[in-house]
Amino acid sequence: MMETSDKKVGKIFLVFAGLCIITLPLVVFSAFSFQPGEMTTTTAVGAQDLDFDQKVEAIFINYDALSKEYLAGVSSARTLDEYYSRRQYPGSPPYIPHKVEEPDLARVECLACHARGGWSEALKRHTPITPHPEQEACRQCHVAMTGENLFVDTDWASVATPRLGRSELPGAPPPIPHELQMRGNCVACHVGPGAVTAIRVEHPSRGNCRQCHVPDTNVKPFRRDNKS
Amino acid sequence: MSITRRSFIKTLALNSAAAAAATLFPGISFSAWKKLDAAAGGIEWQKTPCRFCGTGCGLLVGVSGERAVAVKGDPNCTVNKGLCCVKGYHSVQILYGKDRITKALVRKNGKLVETPLAEALDLVARKLQETIKSHGKDAVAMYGSGQWSITDGYVASKLFKGCIGTNNLEANARLCMASAVTGFLTSFGLDEPMGCYDDIDHADVFITWGNNMAEMHPVLFSRMLANRTSKGHVKIIDFATRTTRTSQAADRSILFKPQTDLAVANAICYEIIRNDWVNWDFVNKHVSFHKGKTNIGYGTEDHFKFQDKAESVDFEQYKEFLADYTPENVEKISGVSAKDIRYLASLYGDPDKKVVSYWCMGMNQHTRGTWINNLVYNCHLLVGKISQPGNSPFSLTGQPSACGTVREVGTLTHKLPHGVVMKEGHRKLAAKIWDVPVENIDPKPTYHTVEMFRALDRGDIRFMWVQVTNPMVTMPNLNRYRNGAEKDDRFMVVSEIYPTPTYDVADVVLPSALWIEREGFFGNSERRTQHADQIVPMPGDCMSNTWQIIEVARRLGFEKQFPWSEDTYIEDIWNEYIQFHDSPKHRMAPYNELKARSGIQWPFVDGMETKWRYNVKYDPAAKGDDFHFYGKPDNRAWIWLRPYEPAAESPDSEYPFWLNTGRILEHWHTGSMTRRVPILHKAVPESYVEINPDDANRMGIVNGMKVKVSSRRGSVVMKASINGRGRPPQGMVFVPFFDESYLINEVTLDAFCPISKQPDYKKCAVKLERV
């Protein structure tokens, strides 16, 4: 009696072990192939989701990819005036200020320089980094200028550019004065020799920018709904 | 910030010293924008659909005071999820061109003179009445647009078809989407796509048929690229007549000779059957086979008439018909190698691959446009790849409301908001909702667009009112139609926002409110209705196109049919209009829902949108256990036997080049709006003729050299572009049509698809000369 029951236990154990051996690689494989990044890119195409700042992932990934030399470098070539002169309003996609080859690949080629930055020998400049390298069809939004004159004059006007350094207290971290959609990756524009000097941060090694700098959004002051 | 009543900005407080731009181009300076008092933080964001293409992106327009000052993509809109293209990002600048028309103009002694708006509207009404009295009701016409708001088209239809009683109502969507409509009607019995943009996220293979999506539907193209990047195995195949940005971004570019897409589509089906990739369960249950007339003509002569006749056939007859279309035979006609044809067939045939086909003007502006639409549906129907996530033949729309206004409201000569004028039941329904005697609605269609402009030239039409379109740039064989419009006893009313070549032939110009200056609705390619609020005030005497029509209708004595108040007319008209579509096949969302959301897809039944039609899982109107093609009387989708027939005009020894025309990324249609946007105009300041490098070399033409492009109808002298953005094959030139200084439509041919009556802007014969 004892023997047979032991045999039974042994058999069950064997089957269980066999199953484990079969399923283990599957579990491991599926764990490795499950990447949250993959899932979000399929659903949130193009958009920086509104909750993207929760993880600050884009910032860290970009930050890790930059060399020490790049982080420390300074380019005096670009000014804030020049930066805004490429735009039609704060936050509009800037035009391409240099020659681009046609026929072009509608995508990717721009990213060779603008995904990570670096020195352009042809233009004698440090390349600015795009805050949204996941967008491949760059020239869908950024176009090169081939003409100089307007077709007819325009009455276009937009709001003033954001003022810098508006700390609430002396020495306090200033708030983020611009929209974050498509521009949520702080490191891209505020760090490195490609950045505009006036908005370049002095402490890039902190990494998690939005721990201290919060968006300055246009909301009414908090007022308690006094029901008591 | 409260926006209940915004104060008018009298002083714009400009920062005078706009920084001189230090650009890398010496000699080109781009000053910064004029700055308003308000800071960036003071912007109020409001949603609207984009003004331009049929993609229908959701935008958030930044408003400061009473001005639109910025744009961002609406992250809540499922169409674009926060992304725009360069036109969308700069769209608000179309409001602020210095030459904006803000007053009514009336031609007096040959000159357009500023006139009080009420006086101009009186004149329009009086001329309408006089013309009807002297020449009959079919001597007056209205020509509208796929950029009309839904309410514009609806009141135009009610006035012309219901009240005046003429079917002389057409829209420029005839030049743009008519073949897509007849394609849907002949294959499925109901207009508009079964699928939606979500297909992009599900598909494994994309085949673009003569469709440069990278420039014409850039936001959807980006979504395709993102899908490819995230999945890895996704393939994009560009099947086209010329190399474009889309070809370059695609995994494969396959070129075919103009017009031979008909033969290639049949060869794909030949291969699907030969390899037995047919989904027999689907075909036996849901498909029937039909053939129509052949050798159907091209409509280049006045009073051309054609009526197709469907004849039922069986699968064996279909197979027999396809016997001529072996890959080897078709290689000889099309220039596409038999290997590539087999490759395309294998993509449709592979049961493990989900396939989306995209097309737009390449297939629609085609003298066999209806046929090629049918033939691409055949490819999907044979393998049952339709009406499921990621399996979708998808007809992209050019204009923001070609679907919403022209196709759904039915602003075409034969259409009513529900159904067609030829059917008594449809006339009765319209007469009831419109509160007019049913005898008012004429059961006979009159003129389609090309024939309408021919009638204007002949003198059969004496009065024409044009809204939101620029036919004096876009009509093919333009010389004839401009001469017609300019004849002495023709009266042209033009509702416009800026001076254009159509404005130049006007007797009365009415100043129109533009896009976010008025409330309205658009309907995009994927059956999505989008409400657009008024966000900024109308300048000067500007008035919405809807209200212009109401004003004239009341002057004609139709107060009873046009009773609405200026405060609520858009909502009231919506509530009246949706009575036409009150069935599970087409129910529209209520006003308040539309106002709150970034677009809603119809059929909207019990609070649910319908993403995939004809599929029981998703479509409340579909019955049975899997698919139900309820548009056709036999409850099946129709496979059509459509042969290859040559183009209306092909290159010969005298005119040895194909002329292909089209759009580019930066400019919207005839450029009347986008050329007033600084960055878009500076990016592409003028049109050009793309020439193949080998042809240019042989003829001694270099980049930028002036070249004369001429056909049997007219000629244009313009700069050559070699190895530019697009590259035509040898024997073809391509010209964008946005530039009113180079009217390429004086060169094109007014041949059209005999079924859809849509002209072919992609094929005629020209010669090139150095000048």
Probe site for chain B from A38, A41, A45, A80 (most B CB atoms < 10 A): A45
- Alpha carbon separation from B488 to B126, B129, B456, B517 (Å, rounded): 18, 18, 12, 35
Helices (H), B239-300: 245-249, 261-274, 280-286
Contact B613, B194 (CB under 8 A): yes
Where are the extended beta strands (E) located within B204-362? 205-209, 235-240, 252-255, 287-291, 311-313, 355-359
Mutate to test the interface with B, among A50, A124, A140, A168 (most CBs of B within 10 A): A140
Which of B91, B149, B67 lies closest to B537, judged by CA? B67
pTM: 0.89
Of B590, B490, A192, nearest in space to B481 by CA: B490
Say what the pLDDT of residue A14 is: 67
Q: Find, among B420, B451, B401, B397, the residue nearest to B148 by Cα.
A: B401
Per the listing, tokens 């206004």 go with: B405
Residue ranges of chain B assigned to CATH 2.20.25.90: 1-96
The minimum CA-CA distance between A6 and chain B, rounded to whole Å, is 49
Structural class in CATH, domain B104-176+400-563 = alpha beta
CATH topology of domain B1-96: N-terminal domain of TfIIb (2.20.25)
With pLDDT > 70 as the criterion, what percentage of chain B qualifies?
95
CB B330 within 8 A of CB B339: no
How far is it, in rounded angstroms, from Cα B486 to Cα A51? Answer: 58
> Which contiguous run of DSSP H or E holds residue B48?
strand B44-49
The secondary structure of B394-440 as a DSSP string is: EE--SSTTIIIIIIIII-STTB-SSSBTT-HHHHHHHHHHHTS-GGG
Contact of A79 with chain B, judged by CB distance below 8 Å, is answered with yes
Helix (H) or strand (E) holding B67: strand B67-73
d(CA B345, CA B275): 9
Cα distance between residue B318 and residue B195, in whole Å: 26
Average pLDDT, stretch B68-77?
A: 95
> Which two tokens mark A228?
């008591």
Distance from CA of A57 to the nearest CA of B (A): 17
Q: What is the pLDDT of residues B614-640, one digit of tens each?
A: 999 999 999 999 999 999 999 999 999
**Percent of chain B at pLDDT exceeding 90:** 94
Q: Which CATH number does B196-385+577-648 carry?
A: 3.40.228.10
Check CB contact under 8 Å for B71 and A92: yes
Q: Where exactly does CATH 3.40.50.740 map onto chain B? A: 104-176+400-563
B298 — pLDDT class (breaks 50, 70, 90): very high
Catalytic residue among B176, B194, B464, B472, which? B176
What letter does residue B383 receive in the DSSP assignment? Answer: T
A-chain residues near B675 (CB < 8 A) = 151-152
Separation in Å, CA of A51 to nearest CA in chain B:
11
Residues 6+ apart with CB under 8 A from A172: none
**Paired strand residues for B34:** A157
* Interface residue A198 vs chain B (CB under 8 A): no
Residue A111: per-residue pLDDT: 87
Q: What is the pLDDT of residue B595?
A: 97
Mean pLDDT by 10 residues, chain A (228 residues): 58 66 53 38 39 56 69 72 91 92 62 85 85 91 93 93 80 88 90 87 82 79 77
Q: What is the pLDDT of residue B338?
A: 98
Cβ burial B700-738 (10 Å sphere, 16+ → b, else e): ebeeeeebebbbebbebebebbbebbbbbbeebbbbbbb
Give B178-201 pLDDT, tens digit per residue: 999 999 999 999 999 999 999 999
How far is residue B358's CA from residue B376's CA, in Å, rounded to a whole number? 10
- Is the predicted pLDDT of residue B722 greater than 80, yes or no? yes
* B690-712: average pLDDT: 97
Name the one residue in this structure whose structure tokens are 């391509």.
B734
Q: Dump pLDDT digits (tens) for B303-356.
A: 999 999 999 999 999 999 999 999 999 999 999 999 999 999 999 999 999 999
Which one has a higher pLDDT value, A207 or B360?
B360
The whole-number average pLDDT for the span B148-173 is 98
Chain A closest CA to B503's CA: distance in Å? 16
**Element containing residue B501 per DSSP (H, E):** helix B501-504
Q: Is 80 exceeded by the pLDDT of residue B12?
A: no
CA A85 to chain centre: 23
pLDDT digits (tens, 9 = 90+) for B496-522: 999 999 999 999 999 999 999 999 999
Residue B379 falls in the annotated catalytic set: no
Is-catalytic flag, B361? yes
Residue A34 is encoded by which pair of tokens?
């499950």
Q: Which residues pair with B391 in a beta bridge?
A: B388
Of all residues in chain B, the one with the smallest CA distance to A80 is B19
Pick the CATH number of B657-748 from 3.40.50.300, 2.40.50.140, 3.20.20.70, 2.40.40.20: 2.40.40.20
| 3-state SS track over B142-204 | EEECCCCCHHHHHHHHHHHHHHHCCCCEEEHHHHCCHHHHHHHHHHHCCCCCCCCCCHHHHCC
Active site residue B335: no
